[in-house]
Amino acid sequence: MKQDLLLAIILFPLLTLPSAQSKSVDGLTIDLIHRDSPLSPFYEAKSAVIPNNGDYLMKIFVGNPPVELFATADTGSDLISVEYSEATSQCRYSLSSDRGKSITEGDLASETIRFGSKDGPLVTATKTTLGCGNLNSENFKNTGKSVVGLGAGPFSLVSQLSNKFGHIFSYCLVPHNVSSTSKLKIGRESTIPPSLAVTTTPLEEGSGYSTVLNGVTVGNSFIGTPIGGISIVVDPGTRLTYLTQPLYGHVMIAVADDVDYETIENPPAPYSLCFALGGTDFIPSVTFHLDHVDVEFPTKNILLSVNDSLCLSIIPTTGVSTLGSLAQEDSKVEYDLQKKTVSFAPTDCTKE
């Protein structure tokens, strides 16, 4: 605790409010590129969606003169961490994401970072606190080593821009088979328009971006959770959706019972339920009953093509239940850090 307090005292002078090049800028829009997209610098042609590579990349420019980097946008991290050897060393830090296995160490510094999209203004954030990593492992090594934390901590990108743009951000993920960029919006630009059907659920206290799941409806079958519900993390950096047992088993059986086609005897890992189907017309609707709201996911978000079959993109876990990015495609997802809520609004994300 004393070390954390000392770190906060050391870094307080670095938290000078970022400034934009234009006073008319009301927020920030950043292109998000899935790491498996043809638009990604790390693209490799594959025949199917890779379940554990859910990272979305954003282009940033660090320092003067600016150095172009591709960084992973991570709602589970609270720090901007870059591989940038010329940054000034201020103090040591270590960081792990809420997905558990991502670990990095390095130096904290104050630096200028530029953000933006090809269609919007390039916004300059001066004196931004960031980490200059020199030891990276696991997830941080997979996508160019740099990470832009979008968590609720004081050193995340959202928090450092909050006094200028507000404590709010959203993203809209295009379908995984579309060759266009998704959008991350920070500040007032991220607000969901009133024309969309919005559902809002409270975030759990002190647990990152997680909410309470009270049950799942498959077709006309409701499957409840234990009294009080279970925690489920809303995470665009995880590709599939994970449910703990026994909830997952009941959901899998309900989906299988509602489909009049034979299941594949040995589905490819990590999937547990696959059908020899070329279309999704015979798949029931799936609704997650979150705290105070119901979120229905289109069939295309729940089933995905794997080789010549369709597989349920919900799989079991012994860890934390997680709502992954496939389920969130074509939905504007908005996080309000002051109200401590997350909202969902179905939309065509290619038009964002």
Of 18, 21, 16, 14, the closest CA to residue 125 belongs to 18
Contact predicate 117/129, CB 8 Å: no
End-to-end CA distance of the chain: 43
Q: What is the pLDDT of residue 83?
A: 67
Q: What is the pLDDT of residue 54?
A: 67
For the chain, the structural domain boundaries read 2-189, 199-351
Q: What is the CATH number of domain 199-351?
A: 2.40.70.10
Q: What is the pLDDT of residue 329?
A: 94
Q: How confident is the model at residue 111 (pLDDT cuts 50, 70, 90)?
A: confident
Q: Which tokens go with 223?
A: 């499957």
Q: Which tokens go with 84?
A: 């940038």
Contact predicate 304/298, CB 8 Å: no
Of the two residues 136 and 348, the one the predictor is more confident about is: 348
Q: How confident is the model at residue 45 (pLDDT cuts 50, 70, 90)?
A: low
- Listed as own residue / partner, the contacts of 20-24 with beta carbons closer than 8 Å and 24 or more positions apart are 20/121, 20/123, 20/124, 20/125, 20/164, 21/121, 21/122, 21/123, 21/124, 22/121
Mean pLDDT over residues 191-197, rounded? Answer: 83
Mean pLDDT over residues 277-301, rounded? Answer: 84
Q: How confident is the model at residue 336 (pLDDT cuts 50, 70, 90)?
A: very high
pLDDT above 60 (res 151): yes
pLDDT above 60 (res 1): no
Same-fold call for 2-189 versus 199-351: yes
pLDDT above 80 (res 248): yes
Q: What is the C-alpha to C-alpha distance for residues 345 and 193, in angstroms, rounded to an integer?
A: 9
Of 125, 87, 93, 126, the closest CA to residue 109 belongs to 87
Average pLDDT, the chain: 78
Secondary structure of 226-280 in HEC code, one letter for each residue: CCCCEEEEECCCCCCEEEECCHHHHHHHHHHHHCCCCECCCCCCCCCCEECCCCC
Of the two residues 114 and 239, the one the predictor is more confident about is: 239
pLDDT above 80 (res 10): no
Q: What is the C-alpha to C-alpha distance for residues 158 and 148, in angstroms, rounded to an integer?
A: 10
Q: What is the pLDDT of residue 250?
A: 96
Ranking 19-23, 156-160, 167-171, 264-268 by mean pLDDT, the lowest is 19-23
Ranking 137-151, 251-265, 318-332 by mean pLDDT, the lowest is 137-151
- Percent of the chain whose pLDDT exceeds 70: 75
Contact predicate 217/297, CB 8 Å: no
2-189 homologous superfamily: Acid Proteases (2.40.70.10)
Mean pLDDT over residues 36-63, rounded? Answer: 71
Q: What is the C-alpha to C-alpha distance for residues 312 and 317, in angstroms, rounded to an integer?
A: 14
Q: What is the C-alpha to C-alpha distance for residues 178 and 199, in angstroms, rounded to an integer?
A: 26
